A and B are shown apart, each in its own frame.
Chain A
Amino acid sequence: EAQVTQNPRYLITVTGKKLTVTCSQNMNHEYMSWYRQDPGLGLRQIYYSMNVEVTDKGDVPEGYKVSRKEKRNFPLILESPSPNQTSLYFCASSKTTFQGTEAFFGQGTRLTVV
């Protein structure tokens, strides 16, 4: 089954404790991205990757890191999480970088930083 898989689905952590949210897609997609969803703000892009070893900042990259060492994986790293990073996070992938390509989303990771 074609899918984007995020882990974990739920995470509660403390301020400053490094964490990684994993994202994997099995569709051989070139483009992957991370979004955060906050009430009243919709989805805002954190980082995106157009292919292996090619990543760039989205609209809200501060406090986050990513890497794309393999085509299928695109982990999101919070080196020193803070409470303002409490949010719902989505990973998405698309077949190409063409702006009209459908994006496939993971089920989300709800992160709480206390």
Chain B
Amino acid sequence: AQSVTQPDIHITVSEGASLELRCNYSYGATPYLFWYVQSPGQGLQLLLKYFSGDTLVQGIKGFEAEFKRSQSSFNLRKPSVHWSDAAEYFCAVGVIGSARQLTFGSGTQLTVLP
């Protein structure tokens, strides 16, 4: 069965600093990969997704993620963090042939210092 690991439970960065959130997946083939963001009191919103093709994908709010097959990783990055980026971030995997659609990681809570 597929699984998703987000090694960092909590990350703190200063506003304007760069950000990288880690995501590793376990699956025998190339899965569909997603990053979702959950702002306080809100549901989850899709930031970006990877299906195939270019391994660097651009998303909303200035985020990007890079798929690295050799490392089974799909890390999320942003060059300059804004205070409004404080939220919880979830990496998710969608697997062909699985009716359950998405398997989520445990999430990374991002705190942004002024």
Which chain A residues have a beta carbon within 8 Å of chain B's beta carbons? 4, 31, 33, 35, 40-45, 48, 50, 56, 58-59, 90, 92, 94, 97, 99-103, 105-108
Residues of A within 8 A of B101 (CB): 31, 33, 48, 94, 97, 99, 101, 103
Write out the residue numbers on chain A whose beta carbons fall within 8 Å of the beta carbon of B100: 33, 45, 48, 58-59
Centre residue among A94, A100, A101 by max chain B CB count within 10 A: A100
Contact A56 B99, CB 8 Å, known A40-B9, A102-B46, A105-B43: yes
**B98 in contact with A107 (CB, 8 Å):** no
Instruction: Specify which chain A residues have a CB less than 8 angstroms from the CB of B105 in the assembled complex.
Output: 42
CB-defined contacts of B34 to chain A, threshold 8 Å: 102
**Is A40 a contact of B44 with CB atoms below 8 Å?**
no
Q: Is B102 an interface residue (CB 8 A)?
A: yes
Indicate if the CB atoms of B9 and A43 lie closer than 8 Å.
no
With A105-B44, A106-B43 already in contact, the answer to whether A99 and B96 are too (CB < 8 A) is yes
State which of A43, A48, A59, A100 has its C-beta within 8 Å of the C-beta of B99. A48
Q: Are A99 and B107 in contact (CB under 8 A)?
A: no
A24 CB to closest chain B CB (Å) equals 14
Instruction: Give the distance to chain A from B47, nearest Cβ to Cβ, in Å.
Output: 11
Size of the chain B interface, CB-CB below 8 angstroms = 28
* Bound-complex Cα distance A10 to B104 (A): 23
Tell me the complex Cα distance, A35–B41, Å.
Answer: 16
Cβ contact within 8 Å between A41 and B106? yes
Interface bits B48-82 vs A (CB < 8 Å: 1, else 0): 01010000000000000000000000000000000
B98:A99 contact, CB within 8 angstroms: yes
> Does B84 sit within 8 A of A, measured CB to CB?
no
In the complex, the chain A residue whose C-beta lies closest to that of B93 is A99
A107 and B43 within 8 A (CB): yes
Interface string of B4-36 (1 = CB under 8 A from A): 101001000000000000000000000010101
Offer 7 A-B interface pairs, CB within 8 angstroms, sorted by A. A43-B44, A43-B90, A43-B104, A45-B102, A48-B99, A100-B51, A107-B42
Decide: A99 and B41 in contact? CB cutoff 8 A: no
Determine the distance from Cα of A44 to Cα of B9 in the docked complex, in whole angstroms.
17
